[in-house]
Structure 1
C-alpha cells in the first residue's frame, strides 16, 4: 500500500471482526499496531488479521465513477453517475412501484452509512432493505428479540470473565475472535472455570475445553435439549428464577418427556454419560454463559431457542458472567441491524408495524415508512428480474451467494437497473449499470458497534484515492436527489445526532463521547456508562418474565447421518473462516488449501494423507490436499470457507471426495 497517504497518528477501529480493537498504522513496519489502554484490547494486542488490516487498502481500487455504455463500464463525472443512479431508480419506481427496488447494505459500512441507506429506501416507500450481517445470526437474533426483547449480547466482555462455566456452541472464538477469547474466556478457564465446547469438529477452542461434545452435524439443538433434560433429571434447575422470571415451566417440563437421554444421545452421536457430565457442570455453576456463532443458524432457530430455554431453566440471565452472547464475526454486524438496515425493523429494533415507531420516524423525516415488512436479501435476489427490477448495493457482493453460478448470473443479468457502490471490482460490479467508487475502512469517518454493544469511532487515516468519495457523502447526495426527506447533514456527527433520536437503543449518546472512547447501548437516562448486563430486573420486552418454549421440532427431524440427495455416500462439509485468512501468510494459505477428513473415511475411500483430491458437491468442485485427522468426526469433512465457498449451497452441503492421479 502507499505509505505516504496514511497518517500513523490516527487511532481507529480494526475492521477485521466484531471485537472492535483499537489500532493505528505503524510506518516502520507498514502494518497495524495496537494501542495500550484501549477500551477493548487494553494490552494493545492485535490478532494476525488486525496486524494486516492496512495491507490491502490499495488493492484493485476503483478510483472513478463508471457508467455502462455499449456493454462496457466507462469513467464519467460524479454528476453524470449520480444522475444515472437517480434516473435508473426513478424509472423502476414509476413503472413497477417502490417494492420493485432492493437496497442492500453491509456490515463493513458504518452505522451512519447504513442508517442513510435505509432512510433512502423507506423514504421511497419500501422496506426492501437488508444486509448480509443479519443473515449471519438471523435465527439467534430473532429468538432473542422475540423472547427477551433484544438481539444484542446480554452481557459485556468484561463481565463474561466472571463466568464459572462457558458453553460454546457452533463457534470457534479462539480462532475467530482471539482477542475477546483471550480477554474473557481463557483467564476464567485458567482460574478454574469450565469450558464446554459443542461442535462437530475439534478446533482451536477445543484445545482449552474442559469437555468437547461433538454431535452429528445438525444435532446441536437435540444435544442442548438433552442437556436441559439431564439438568431437570438431576434437580439442578433454578426454581426461584423460574418462578419469578419465566412462564410456561410446567408445559416445558412435559415437553421434555419426549426425550430419552440414552437413545437420543446415541442418535446425536454422543455418549449419554458425557451429556450428563456436561449438564452437571453447567447446572451446578453459579454463573454459566453461552457463547454462540454462525454454526447454530442452520436449523430454523431450534438451537438458539433451546439455548435460551437452558439459560432460563438454570437462572443464567440478568447477572454478570451469564447470558446469551452471539460472538459476531464482521466489524459492524450489530450496528447494521441496529440502524434498521433490515426489512422488518426500523432503527433500534422497532418493528415496522409499530405505530409509535413509524410516527416517530415520520415526524423526523417528513414521510412515514411502510408498515409491511420487506423481503430478506436471499428472497430479494431470487426475485431479481421478476418482483424486483432494480437494486442499489452498498459495500457488498451479493452475486457471490448460495445459488449456483449460472442461476446467480441469470438473476443479476435480468435486473432493469443495478447500481453498486464499492471499493473494488467484484462479481456484482460486473453486472452493474453504474459503479460508484467508495471509501475503504481506513478512509471512513463515523461509528461502528461491536459484539458487546459498544459504539466505537472510525477515524479516517487516509483519503480515498483518485476520484473516490466517502460513502456517507455519496448517500447524502443520492438521498437528496431521490427523496423529499432532508439529507443535509454536518458530516457523520449530524447523522449520528439524528440516529440517536430515531434509534432508542442509542438514545442519550453523544458523538463526542463515542470519539472519546465509545459508549455501550443502552445508555440509561442520567447515567454516564452504558448497561453492561441486560435483563437484570425486566427483559427488554418490558416484562418481568420470559417464556420457556417447549422443545419439539428437534425431536422429529431426519436423522443427522441420513444421506442427502447429492451423493449416495456423501460426507457432510463443515466450514468456517480463519482469523488469519486475510493476512496472506504462506502458512495460512497452505492450511486453507486442505480438506480435513477422518482417517476412517479416508481409508474407506483410499485417500492417503497429503494426497491431492477432488472435493465435489452439487454446486461445484475444488481441488485440495487431504489431511487425515481425528479433529473431524466420521461422516464429515472440513475446509476453510475461503476455499470451500464454490461448494456450498443453501442448507447442509454433502460432498464426494476422490483422490486424483499423480
Structure 2
C-alpha cells in the first residue's frame, strides 16, 4: 500500500471487496488481517487478494477531483461544475428522447444501500434500464433457478456444504476463485470422505482435489448432464418418494432421455463414458449430494438450459431442501448477490418481484411516492448494442464495461456514440476515459453499509479509512444526483446508509425482518420475513420458493455454441487466477499481487501446439474477426485438446476483445466461454519489435 501521511486509517471489521465469499477483514498497519470471529472466515483466514485489499485504497492514481470533458480531453473541475454538467447532460437526453434513452450500470462491488438508491434513481426518473454485472456471470443461473425453484441463489449454506457426501463442481474453480470457501468448507468435506466430481475443460487447483475429472468440451454441458441423468434413470438411482411428492414431469423427462446413448453422448461431450457413469453413480448413490456451479456453466448462449439440465439431476435424486445438498452458484464479486437482491436488474424490483406485477409496483409506490415503470428495461449488454440509436446516455457506477463486456472493442466504440456518459469510480478506467463527467467516489474501505455474500448472508461494512482529496462517499453522490435529476428530491434524503437499509426492509419481503442492530458483527440471511425470528438457511425444505409444493422436471435439448469452428480454429475459454480479479483495474495496482504474477499465457494442448509449430514460451497471436491478442504460449496437457485458455487480467488488449456477444435468449448473458479463434506464432518482426521495446 502506498503510504500517505495525510490519510487516516482505523481498524474496524468490514468485508473483503473481492469475491462473493464475504470474508471479514480489517486494516492492520501496512496491510490487512482477517477479522476475528468473522461470520464466514471464523479463524481469520484470508486469501492473497484479501491480504492486499488495502493496496488500492491509498494508491497514488486514485481520482481525487471530478473530471469533465473539454475539447476531447478530460480536465479537473469543481464538484458543482461537474454535477451541473452531469445533470444537464442527462436531463437533455431525457427531454429529447425520454427516460428509456438512459442506461444505468449498477455496481456489484458497492453496497446494498448504494445499489438500492441507484436503481431507485433510475425508476423514479422513469426507466427500468438498470443492470449490474450479474448479467455477465450468473444471470442464466438466476433465470433457470428462479423459474423452476422460485429463487436464483444458493439453496444451501457454506456451513452445510461441509457435511455433504458428494460435491459436483461444474464450471467452477473454487480453489483459486473462492479460496476461503474451498479450503474452509468444501475441502474439509472431501477430506472427510465426500466424493468430488469436477467438470471443467482444464485441470486446475480444484481438479487436484477431485476423485473424478470430466474435462467437458466447452459448450457441451447439456450433453454431459443429460447423459448423467440418463444413467440415474437407467440404473434406478432416483429418489422415487421425493420425485412423487415434490416434482412433476418425470415421465416426459424419462421419455426424452429413453433413447440416449450414454457412451456416444459422453464422447460427444468430450469425456470418458466410464468416468461419466462413475460420476453419475457417485452423485446418485450419495445420501446427500451438492452441486456447486460457476461461470463455466452460465456464460454460454445455452447458459439457462445448462442450469435447467443440472436442476434435473438434483430433483431426480431428492438433493434439494436438505443440508449438504442443493444447487449452489458461487457468486463472483463481493456484492453481486446483493445488487440483484435490491433491484439493480431491469426486470425486477427489490426482492426479485417482477416490475410487471402491479401489486409489487403499488407497494414500492407507497414508499417512493412514485410508481416504477411496468415494462422491463434493457439488460446492460443489450443496451450497449443500442448505444447511439435507442440509448443516448449512460450512468456507470463502479463498473468498467468498456473492457468487461464481450466484444470489448466494439463496446468501447459504442460508448463514443453516446451524447452523455457519467462515470462514478476510483480510477480513470477505460470507461472513464470515454466519459463526459467522471466523479471520484469512495473505495470499499471508506464506506459503511451492507453487502450480501454468496450464501445469502447480509454483512456489515465499516469504514477503515478516510477519503483522499476531494473524493466523496458514493452514497452522497448518488443521493445528490437523485435530488437534482428527478422531480422527487425528498425521495433521496437519507440520514446515512442505515436509513436506506431501513427503507429497503420495508420494500423487499426478503429483507423485511433485518436490521443493522440485528446484523451487528455477524450476519442475517435471507429470506427473513418480518414476522420471523431469523432467516432461512436451507431453501425449499417443505415447499419451493415459487409457493408450490412441486417443481417441474424439464427435458433439455442441446444448444450449439454461437461460434462455429473453422477447420484450423480452436475454442477459447477464459477465467481468472488466484492473485488477480476480473479486469485487474484494482488488483493490477497492488504491488504485492503483481509480485505474485505469473506471466499471462495462452494455455494450449501439446498436440495443438505441435500442429501449429508452437513451442512452450513462444509468443503467439490469438485472433478472430473481433480482435487480436498477443501472449506467450504455455504448452500443457492440463487443457483439453481443441481448447485454449487465457485469463482476462493482463493481456493488452484484454482477451475480452475476442469474446462474442451472442446472448442466451432468456437471460441475455453473453457467451464468454466459447469463442472460435485462430492461434499462430507471432510474426518474427513483431516479436523482435516487442523484445526491443522491453530492452
- Number of the residue aligned with 1:658: 680
Distance 1:519 1:425 in 2: 36
* Structure 1: unaligned runs, 5 residues or longer: none
1:370-385 matches, within 5 Å, as 370-385=373-388
Task: Report the alpha carbon displacement of residue 230 of structure 1 after superposing the two structures with TM.
Answer: 0.1
Distance 1:584 1:133 in 2: 29
* Structure 2: unaligned runs, 5 residues or longer: 581-586, 662-670, 689-695
- Number of the residue aligned with 1:242: 243
Distance 2:78 2:628 in 1: 42
- Number of the residue aligned with 1:233: 234
Q: Tell me the secondary structure at the aligned position of residue 358 of structure 1.
A: helix
Report if the CA contact (8 A) 1:134-1:337 is conserved.
no
Query: Which one of 22, 25, 45 corresponds to residue 23 of structure 1?
Result: 25
- Number of the residue aligned with 2:666: none
Q: Tell me the secondary structure at the aligned position of residue 223 of structure 1.
A: helix
Q: Tell me the secondary structure at the aligned position of residue 499 of structure 2.
A: helix
State whether structure 2 residue 647 is matched by structure 1 residue 640: yes
State whether structure 2 residue 9 is matched by structure 1 residue 7: yes
Q: Tell me the secondary structure at the aligned position of residue 55 of structure 1.
A: helix
- Number of the residue aligned with 2:413: 410
Q: Per the alignment, do residues 158 and 468 of structure 1 end up closer, same or farther by CA in structure 2, a change over 3 Å counting?
A: same
Distance 2:334 2:285 in 1: 35
1:345-384 matches, within 5 Å, as 345-384=348-387
Report if the CA contact (8 A) 1:309-1:548 is conserved.
yes
Q: Per the alignment, do residues 240 and 406 of structure 1 end up closer, same or farther by CA in structure 2, a change over 3 Å counting?
A: closer
TM-score, normalised by the number of residues in structure 1? 0.96
Report if the CA contact (8 A) 1:563-1:569 is conserved.
no
1:28-39 matches, within 5 Å, as 30-39=30-39
Q: Tell me the secondary structure at the aligned position of residue 84 of structure 2.
A: helix
Query: Which one of 508, 514, 519 corresponds to residue 519 of structure 2?
Result: 514
Q: Per the alignment, do residues 419 and 564 of structure 1 end up closer, same or farther by CA in structure 2, a change over 3 Å counting?
A: same
Q: Per the alignment, do residues 318 and 632 of structure 1 end up closer, same or farther by CA in structure 2, a change over 3 Å counting?
A: same
TM-score, normalised by the number of residues in structure 2? 0.91
Distance 1:586 1:494 in 2: 37
1:436-479 per-residue CA deviation (whole Å, 9 max, x = no partner) reads 11111111111110000011111111122111100101111111
Task: Report the alpha carbon displacement of residue 404 of structure 1 after superposing the two structures with TM.
Answer: 4.5
Task: Report the alpha carbon displacement of residue 227 of structure 1 after superposing the two structures with TM.
Answer: 0.6
State whether structure 2 residue 476 is matched by structure 1 residue 491: no
Distance 1:496 1:289 in 2: 33
- Number of the residue aligned with 1:575: 574
1:224-268 per-residue CA deviation (whole Å, 9 max, x = no partner) reads 111110011110100110111111111111111242112211211
Distance 1:405 1:548 in 2: 37
Query: Which stretch shifts more, 84-93 or 467-476?
Result: 84-93
1:237-386 matches, within 5 Å, as 237-297=238-298, 298=300, 299-386=302-389
Q: Tell me the secondary structure at the aligned position of residue 36 of structure 1.
A: coil
Task: Report the alpha carbon displacement of residue 617 of structure 1 after superposing the two structures with TM.
Answer: 3.0
Distance 1:172 1:379 in 2: 28
Q: Tell me the secondary structure at the aligned position of residue 544 of structure 1.
A: coil
- Number of the residue aligned with 2:57: 57
Task: Report the alpha carbon displacement of residue 502 of structure 1 after superposing the two structures with TM.
Answer: 0.7
Distance 2:406 2:148 in 1: 32
1:133-144 matches, within 5 Å, as 133-144=134-145
- Number of the residue aligned with 2:459: 456
Distance 2:510 2:494 in 1: 21
Distance 1:253 1:405 in 2: 42
- Number of the residue aligned with 1:620: 627
Q: How many residues align?
A: 654
Report if the CA contact (8 A) 2:108-2:132 is conserved.
yes
